Structure formats: C-alpha cells, structure tokens
C-alpha cells in the first residue's frame, strides 16, 4: 500500500523597491514595489517527496538570497540619500513638539490658568447678559415715558421763553 502525501512550501517576502532584474524561476517579480518568493510544488509519490522538498527549499533559499541582496541595496540607497536620517529627525521633532505641548498644558492646568480663564469667560458672559437686560429695560422705559417727557420739556421750554420775554419787555 502506497501512501500519497503532498508537500507545499510558500514564503512571501515583501519590501518597498522596484526590482528590474529577473529572479529565479521559483520567484516572481512585480512592479508593485514588492517581491514574492514562492515555490508551491506538489509531490504525489512518497519517493519524490524528499527530492522535491529539497528542491523547493533550495529554490526558496535562492529567492531569499536575491531578495536579501535587493533589501540590502535598498537600505544602502536610503542611507546614502539621507532619507533614514531625515525620517529620524522628523520623528524626533514630532516627539519634541508633542512633549512641549503636553508640558505647556500640564503647566497651565497645574497653575490653575485654564480654570481661571474658564471662570473669567463665564463671568464676562454673565455680565454681558446682565448689561443687555439693563439696556433693554432702559430702552423700554424710555419709549414708555417719551411722550410724557416731551410734553414736560415743551411746558418748561414755554415757561422759560415767556419769562425771558417778560424780562426783555421790562
């Protein structure tokens, strides 16, 4: 009785870089900035399993070697271009800025400035509302008393004129 087994090996290695050269037959290159190393051979007889497994492992190892070389070239290119240092500098700058903002907020909070500012804004809002109500009331009262005030002013004005006229005649 023969036993049928299958062996599959699949390894995917992805990194960011276009690869222009052809890789081994067990690997495939793509234009999507990644490398995929695959060997999905299937053995159907028990005698060929070790040989095919060994061949698959050999093909994967060659693919890993090629991908490793490409990755090494990518890292060297990034290092030579200064991109790695620039990213590190940007990350430190972001970290420092976040720490400064955090320290400032803690300082303001510890000194009670945030609470005091909130209270002052609240008090100013209440005072403004009180002033608006007072002005509305004064305007309403002025409108209600305007006819009486005008009548009183006319009467006083007429009396003053008549006295001035009397004095000028004497």
DSSP codes of every residue in 119-170: HHHHHHHHHHHHHHHHHHHHHHHHHHHHHHHHHHHHHHHHHHHHHHHHHHH-
Q: What is the pLDDT of residue 46?
A: 53
Same domain? 75 vs 91: no
Same domain? 76 vs 18: yes
Question: Please, which pLDDT band fits residue 141 given cuts at 50, 70 and 90?
Answer: confident
Q: What is the pLDDT of residue 88?
A: 92
In a domain, 51, yes or no: yes
Q: Could you tell me the residue range of the domain that residue 90 belongs to? A: 85-111
Which of 145, 143, 163, 141 has its CA nearest to residue 153?
A: 145
Same domain? 61 vs 101: no
Same domain? 70 vs 37: yes
Which residue has better confidence, 1 or 73?
Answer: 73
pTM above threshold 0.95: no
Has residue 27 got a pLDDT over 70? no
Q: What is the pLDDT of residue 1?
A: 45
In a domain, 159, yes or no: no
Angle (nearest 5°) at CA 152 between 146 and 157: 125
Same domain? 45 vs 96: no
pLDDT by residue (tens digit) across 92-114?
A: 999 999 999 999 999 998 999 98
How many CB atoms sit inside 10 A of residue 13's CB?
18
Same domain? 76 vs 89: no
Mean pLDDT comparison of 24-33, 66-75, 143-152, highest-scoring range = 66-75
Average pLDDT of the segment spanning 128-147: 89
Same domain? 46 vs 93: no
Same domain? 55 vs 91: no
Which residue has better confidence, 3 or 113?
Answer: 113
Same domain? 30 vs 45: yes
Which residue has better confidence, 132 or 146?
Answer: 132
What percent of the chain is predicted at pLDDT more than 90?
29
Provide the domain count of the chain.
Answer: 2
* Cα–Cα distance for residue pair 7/41, rounded to 1 Å: 7
In a domain, 156, yes or no: no
Which of 21, 107, 112, 111 has its CA nearest to residue 67?
A: 21
């Amino acid at each position: 009785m023969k036993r049928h087994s299958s062996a599959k090996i699949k390894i995917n290695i992805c990194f960011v870089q276009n690869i222009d050269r052809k890789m081994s037959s067990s690997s495939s290159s793509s234009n999507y900035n990644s490398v995929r190393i695959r060997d999905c051979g299937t053995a159907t007889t028990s005698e060929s399993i070790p040989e095919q497994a060994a061949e698959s492992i050999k093909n994967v190892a060659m693919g890993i070697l090629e991908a490793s070389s490409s990755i090494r070239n990518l890292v060297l290119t990034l290092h030579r271009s200064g991109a790695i240092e620039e990213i590190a500098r940007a990350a430190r700058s972001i970290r420092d800025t976040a720490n400064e903002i955090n320290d400032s907020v803690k300082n303001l909070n510890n000194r009670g400035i945030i609470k005091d500012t909130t209270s002052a804004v609240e008090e100013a809002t209440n005072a403004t509302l009180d002033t608006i109500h007072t002005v509305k009331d004064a305007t309403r009262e002025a409108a209600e008393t305007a006819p009486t005030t005008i009548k009183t002013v006319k009467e006083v004005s007429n009396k003053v004129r008549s006295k001035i006229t009397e004095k000028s005649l004497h």
